[in-house]
Amino acid sequence: MIKDVRSQLNVLISKDKIQNRINQLALNISNDYNGKPLTLVSILRGSIFFTVDLARKLDLIFDMEFVELSSYGNDFESSGNIKINKDLTNPVENRHLLIIEDIIDTGHSLKFITEHLKKYNPLSIATCVLLDKASKRVADITPNYVGFVIPDKFIIGYGLDYYGHFRNVDYIGYLGE
Ligand code: IMP
Ligand code: MG
C-alpha cells in the first residue's frame, strides 16, 4: 500500500505559476520554430502533464512522439544506466526535435536520449524541461528551455511521482524541510 503523502506536501510552485511560466515558454518556442517542421518528443511518463499543457499553448504546426526510458537505481536518483522501453514510432529525418522532459537532475537521462535521437538524423535536437535541479548536474548537458531552476528537493506532482503515484497533484510539491 502506498502511503497518502498529499497532506504532507509543501508547495514549491503553485498551479498558477506553472501555467504562467508555460505560457512564456510557449511564446518563446512558437517564435523559435515558426515555419519549421517540428516534432515534440515527450518523455514518458513524468512529462505528460507538462507536454499537454505546453503543446496546447504552442502557436505552431507540429507532431508528437513519445519515448519511455527506465533507469536502474532507486526511485529517487537516476543511475547512469538507462534503457529505452519505448522508442520513436515514426521517422524523424527532416524534422526538428524538441524533447519535453519534466525534470533534469543529474542530466544522465536527457543526455542519453539526446545522443540516442541523433542516430535518427533529425534536422536539430533541442530540450525543454519544466524543472532544473541545476546544482545536481553530472552529465554534460544544458537544456535549451527551462521552466524553473529549483533546489535539491524530492519533487512530487504535476507529473512527477512518488512510487508511481500522485502524478495528478496539480502543483509542484515536495516532502520534508
Ligand atoms: P536525471 O537522469 O538524474 O537527470 O533524472 C531525471 C529523471 O529522474 C526524471 O525524468 C525523473 O523521472 C526522475 N527524477 C529526478 N528528480 C526527481 C524528483 O525530484 N521527483 C521525481 N522524479 C525525479
Ligand atoms: Mg522522468
Q: How far apart are CA 166 and CA 9, in angstroms?
A: 11
From the CB of 128, is ligand 1 less than 6 Å away? no
Helix ranges restricted to H, 11-120 = 15-32, 48-57, 108-118
From the CB of 107, is ligand 1 less than 6 Å away? yes
Ligand 2 is an ion; its neighbours by CB within 5 Å are 46
Of 53, 102, 105, 132, the catalytic one is 105
From the CB of 172, is ligand 1 less than 6 Å away? no
Condensed to tens digits (0 to 9), the pLDDT of residues 70-81 reads 886 665 666 678
The whole-number pLDDT of residue 81 equals 86
Q: How far apart are CA 137 and CA 141, in angstroms?
A: 8
16 an active-site residue?
A: no
Condensed to tens digits (0 to 9), the pLDDT of residues 51-105 reads 999 999 999 999 999 999 988 666 566 667 899 999 999 999 999 999 999 999 9
Q: How far apart are CA 104 and CA 136, in angstroms?
A: 9
Q: How far apart are CA 118 and CA 132, in angstroms?
A: 23
Looking at CATH, the fold of the domain delimited by 15-71+82-151 is given as Rossmann fold (3.40.50)
